[in-house]
Amino acid sequence: MADYDAKEITKYYDTFGLKEWDRLVSNPVEEVSLYIHNHYLRELIKPNDKILEIGTGPGRFTKDYRK
């Protein structure tokens, strides 16, 4: 078993998070997916609604849907 290295673990997840953040604008198909998701988020979630996010990833939808 490898020794625990907090810096390496942090680096791994930081890199993973950046890749996931960029995935939704990496090609036209992903951009359409992002647009569709945000369209429905804007349509269905109203100001002052309370939302529980589980397994949200880097937060791209949360950040972008109100634009």
> What are the DSSP calls for 9-24, one per residue?
HHHHHHHHHHHHHHHT
Residue 5 has phi, psi (to 5 degrees) of -130, 100
In a domain, 55, yes or no: yes
How many domains does the chain divide into?
1
Residue 53: domain span? 27-60
12-62: per-residue pLDDT in tens?
Answer: 888 887 888 888 889 999 999 889 988 998 899 888 898 887 777 777 777
Give the angle subtended at the CA of 11 by the CAs of 37 and 35, to the nearest 5°: 10
Q: What is the pLDDT of residue 64?
A: 66
**Considering the domain boundaries, does residue 51 fall inside one?**
yes
